[in-house]
Chain A
Amino acid sequence: MSGFRLPSCGLIDRSRPLHFTFDGKRYQGFAGDSLASALLANGVDILGRSFKYHRPRGLFSAGVEEPNAMVTLRSSARTEPNCKAPMVELFEGLEAKSQNRWPSLGLDIMALNGLAGPLLSAGFYYKTFMGPTRKAWMFYEHFIRKAAGMGAGTQLRDPDRYEETNAFCDVLIAGAGPTGLMAALAAAQSGARIVLVDDQAEMGGSLRGTSLTVGEAAGDIWCRSALAVLSALPNVTLLPRTTVYGYYDDNTFGAVERVSDHLPVPPEATPRQRHWTIRAKQLVIAAGAIERPLIFAGNDTPGVMLADAIRIYVERYGVSPGQRIALFANNDGAYRTVAALAKAGVTVVAVVDPRPEIGAEARSVVEGCGAELLTGHVVTRARGGRRLAAIEVTPYDPANGVQDRLHRSIPVDCLAVSGGWTPTIHLASQASGPARWDEALAAFLPGEPTQPWQAAGACSGELSTAACLTAGIQAGAEAARACGFAPSPISVPAVGPEITCDAILPLWDARPAGGKGKAFVDLQHDVTASDVSLAHREGFRSVEHLKRYTTLGMATDQGKTSNMAGLALMAQERGLSIPEVGTTRFRPPYTPIALGALAGQARGAHFRPLRRTPMHDWHVAEGADMMEVGLWQRPRVYRRDGETVEQAYIREARQVRQSVGIVDVSTLGKIDVQGPDAAEFLNRVYSNGFLKLPEGKARYGLMLREDGFLWDDGTTWRLGEHRFLMTTTTANAAPVLAQLEFLLAAVWPEMKVAVTSVSDQWAAMAVSGPKARDLLAAVLDDIGMSNEAFPFMGVREGHLDGVPVLVARLSFSGELAYEVYAGAHSGEAVWRRIMAAGEAFDVVAYGLEALGTLRIEKGHVAGPELDGRTTAEDLGLGGMTSRRKDYIGSAMMDREGLVDDNRMKLVGLISRDGQPVRSGSHLIVPNGESPPRSLGHVTSSTYSPALEKYIALGLLEDGRNRIGEALVATYPLKGHNVDVEVVSSHFFDPEGSRMHV
């Protein structure tokens, strides 16, 4: 118990206590606390167990870079694992649990892994558990995955709503610290539209709670007045609690706003998170920098923290993480932490710095607080198990490195470490050339932009507040100018004395040669310095290999605190400089984002559009079982009381053949084809002839793909000399239109033809059965229905109860049948009129199942047969591929493989044992070779009321020569085997006598 609440400082509201639980225990914090600061104030040392070794881990940082303090928030359906404690705003009743421990955080049995330390090095699991076969790994993997890990999510449905929105602006500013605020002020006064984004609840970044003075006031006051100015401007949008996570083409950005994450439950009509797609003419990256740790034994002991994080906990949250604190730093900037601690009255015991000399301001800070200054020293080891107890300090000089002889121990309960700063170049690197190495800062800076952005402030290597303010103004004004605005100059506010971050000594590794104990590079993935050496020894030397072999930088923090040290160690091993070793490229997202935020509203019924036919309401009112067909809702069967689906479709199909039935076919694709070249165009698109199709007639046509395979079929009706109505299958409505448009644009631009989708404009229904003519004659106002006046394949325009309709005499069922097309708005009325008049003719509405039954009985092909692998010849439609003209597919349809006699051909199958034949079954020879060879498969199946048998269509090798053979339709997954006989696919009325009456 070392951390404690300081009596006065911080931006928290001490008049508003908030209660929360951590692992079931109740604690109290204040409004303005993060979960991390509140736990720290309550003296909670251990916040989690590490990924691999299950070592106790405490808080390490104060921001998104946190590698250790990952918790699971809330419970049941709102459970959210792997939340970084410093990024969690405290609220009343917050419920947090630690992760990766069993049975408890205090006693974790898996910590025994630590004893087996040397065994669990990089690649250990793969080397040990992967035998010569994959079997061993398959067995062990389950246990290994269980032992190593993060928090567990929930299987319950997320009850919250996520939404998405778009924004357009001139200048997007990512980061609202001193640089971002200044950039916004400079750009906004020019009138440019600004969106300023920051991942914290309160904007201001490093200025929040700072002891620096900016302008006339304390930094925090200046920051608030700047924000007041910005929020009053109509051309500025402030997006706090928002992270710009990805940089995409044409300056498009993905950002996630955590709208309600700081509340127990999202308020009414408020989403949990909001995804922003932002298009900006210019981006100013003001993303700041992340402090890096140093490598020494036990550098993961709870109590070892980043120096600037400690300053933030003191200045912003009024919490001290320890009672006796030491600093280990290689740069002057870290001495700000000493100053903040001294000002808050916290004891700083010692300051350890490998540099022989430090800056004058830094020195005076140390002298002022009475801490022991140990220049030319390093910390080689942190001692203490569940909490830091002491540090071991050893002399160091740049020439001879770390001396392991003269070490002394200093009792402390907290160590601030600083290895310098790593500019946050993530966003920039998503739209730039290779990162640039800066020798003075020992850091990578953004590379050459490939899109219009500029980086300013700490993320481009300016580490003092004064420099950030100046850079912000410059970047903001420049961005506004690039958007065509004329910003007038604004003055840089003066900044009080600050210790700047220059004079870094690029020391990464403070381990003495041969020193023992685990020294971590990647805290979140438990990658140690010796793992990096091992990777080098085993030949994984490129940064990409290093990353994948050791998993360094591959945790949820994506190596924000570890990448640089990993590169530095590898560079040292290889005897190269860091820029020679190179760096890996950062990819989106910058921080993990919820899949819910990406999905937005597109889930459940909103996942994709739902299409309903004009007669939909009637189907539903009649109790139809509706089914999804692509995006469409279609009636499957209209079940009567107590009927099964099978009983219903058999009744419907039987009644169609006995009297008359009506089915909704509005989902067919319908394309209006017009123009003087329309007939010639269709003649090139269809494999059969269309030039001589007379007006008032329809024709069934086949479309091939350019590669010669069959693509689509449908009827096309000639309405006039230059006007046709084409129909396509439901599934290909959109692709056929796009193809026709392509042909007219790219292949035959000289043709005078226009094509337009009219699929949604027409309601369509097929009326089929022996009494179809009588029924339609009873309802049509002005169309002669006799066989002579209205012959097979005829098309007529007329009226039904005054509603204009198109009627075509087509048959998919094999019965005397007509298709009636009416304007979509009249569809339901026309349907109802036919149903009402149909009572006298014993009409039945039938669904997709009966539609399928009727067409299978006739051997008509549909989607399951038009599967993209069949040719017209395969399906017995070879006669429709003209030899006297060129058309799409004609050049390639005679390729060797497409005319092979052994190809699978369409056949009919009849069940011989009264069992249904399952679609997808394979056709095999009975009692043949084992394992049996598949000769083909079943494509469509049904019970046939006309034949009173289960029948099916199938594709069978050399099928037409197998008529009469006995085969087995086998479905091994379900253990189904049905004896079938191969027959012609024309089961019923092969002469077509019924439809020509």
Chain B
Amino acid sequence: MLIPCPHCGPRDVGEFTYGGDATKERPDPGSAAAADWCDYVFQRENPRGPHLEYWHHAQGCRLWLKVRRDTATHRIEGAEIAGPWAGAEARESDSGEGQDVA
């Protein structure tokens, strides 16, 4: 699987670690009920089909990405940087390819 890292270009999945469901938002500690925390910490859907997931480019730029991936086909629709660099311009001219073997 290739993950299109907006910073590094398309990279092998081996460079990333999975970070789970990216649709979960951490409850507000000031107002959340126990059930909200239970939902945030323990409850996860296991959808078949499109899913928004966190992936950490641990062996690369170390950015956390939000990746839209189809869990049935492994097709990735897109990836964006999570956090303060969200929306930063994708890096150009990197096709993610290595050396020509021929």
Contact = CB atoms under 8 A, between A and B. Distances in A.
Interface of A: 166-169, 193-195, 233-237, 248-250, 252, 279, 450, 706-707, 734, 738, 741-742, 744-747, 749-750, 886, 890-892, 895
A741 B101 contact: no
B31 to A, nearest CB: 11
Interface in B61-102: 62-64, 73-74, 81-84, 86, 97-102
A237 B82 contact: no
Contact of B101 (A195, A742, A747): A195
Contacts of A233: 102
B29 interface: yes
Given A891-B37, A892-B37, A168 B64 contact: no
B29 A193 contact: no
A301 B102 CA distance: 47
Interface in B1-48: 1-2, 13, 17, 19, 22, 26-27, 29-30, 32, 34, 37, 40-42
Nearest to B1: A249
A252 B74 CA distance: 13
Contacts of B37: 891-892
B19 A166 contact: no
Contact of B64 (A249, A450, A746): A746
Interface residues of B, number: 35
Contacts of B64: 741-742, 745-746
A235 B74 CA distance: 31
Contact of A891 (B17, B27, B82, B102): B27
B74 A166 contact: no
Contacts of B81: 745
A56 to B, nearest CB: 46
Given A249-B74, A890-B29, A892-B37, A749 B86 contact: yes
29 contacts: A168-B101, A169-B101, A169-B102, A193-B102, A194-B102, A195-B101, A195-B102, A235-B102, A237-B101, A237-B102, A249-B13, A249-B74, A250-B1, A250-B74, A450-B73, A707-B42, A734-B58, A738-B17, A738-B56, A738-B58, A742-B54, A742-B64, A744-B84, A745-B64, A745-B81, A746-B22, A746-B83, A749-B83, A886-B29
B41 A746 contact: no
Given A195-B101, A237-B101, A745-B83, A706 B41 contact: yes
Given A250-B1, A891-B27, A745 B101 contact: no
A742 B55 CA distance: 10
Given A169-B100, A235-B100, A738-B56, 18 more contacts: A168-B101, A250-B2, A706-B40, A706-B41, A707-B42, A734-B58, A741-B64, A742-B56, A742-B64, A745-B82, A745-B84, A746-B22, A746-B64, A749-B82, A886-B29, A886-B30, A891-B27, A892-B41
A747 B84 CA distance: 11
Given A749-B84, A749-B86, A886-B29, A742 B19 contact: yes
Nearest to A193: B102
B73 A747 contact: no
A746 B101 contact: no
A902 B41 CA distance: 25
Contact of A168 (B19, B62, B98): B98
B83 A744 contact: yes
A811 to B, nearest CB: 33
B41 A707 contact: yes
A249 B14 CA distance: 13
Nearest to B76: A250
Contacts of A193: 100-102
B2 A746 contact: no
Contacts of B26: 746-747
A237 to B, nearest CB: 5
A249 B30 CA distance: 44
B30 A168 contact: no
A872 to B, nearest CB: 18
Nearest to B10: A250
B100 A168 contact: yes
| Residue from A166, A235, A248, A250 whose CB has the most chain B CB atoms within 10 Å | A250
| Residue from A234, A742, A744 whose CB has the most chain B CB atoms within 10 Å | A742
Contacts of A744: 83-84
Contacts of A279: 97
B102 to A, nearest CB: 5
B97 A168 contact: yes
A166 B96 CA distance: 13
A970 to B, nearest CB: 35
A746 B54 contact: yes
Contact of A741 (B1, B62, B97): B62
Interchain residue pairs A-B with the least CB separation, the first 8: A745-B83, A886-B29, A745-B64, A249-B1, A167-B101, A749-B83, A745-B82, A250-B2
B35 to A, nearest CB: 11
Nearest to A751: B84
Contacts of A750: 84
A689 B97 CA distance: 48
Nearest to A894: B34
Contacts of A194: 102
A194 B100 CA distance: 10
Contacts of A169: 100-102
| Residue from B2, B29, B83 whose CB has the most chain A CB atoms within 10 Å | B83
B82 to A, nearest CB: 4
A194 B102 CA distance: 7
Nearest to B66: A746
| Residue from B27, B86, B98, B100 whose CB has the most chain A CB atoms within 10 Å | B100
A234 B100 CA distance: 10
B40 to A, nearest CB: 8
Contacts of B54: 742, 746
| Residue from A234, A450, A891, A892 whose CB has the most chain B CB atoms within 10 Å | A891
Contact of B29 (A166, A168, A235, A891): A891
Nearest to B63: A745
Contacts of B84: 744-745, 749-750
A886 B100 CA distance: 54
A166 B34 CA distance: 50
| Residue from A166, A169, A746, A750 whose CB has the most chain B CB atoms within 10 Å | A746
A235 B30 CA distance: 63
Contacts of A886: 29-30
Contacts of A249: 1-2, 13, 74
Given A741-B64, A746-B54, A168 B82 contact: no
A895 B101 CA distance: 58
A746 B98 contact: no
Contacts of A741: 56, 62, 64
Nearest to B42: A707
Contacts of B30: 886
A665 B81 CA distance: 35
B12 to A, nearest CB: 8
B58 A166 contact: no
Contacts of B98: 166, 168
B44 to A, nearest CB: 13
Contacts of A707: 41-42
Nearest to B22: A746
A352 B82 CA distance: 71
A235 B101 CA distance: 8
Nearest to B62: A741
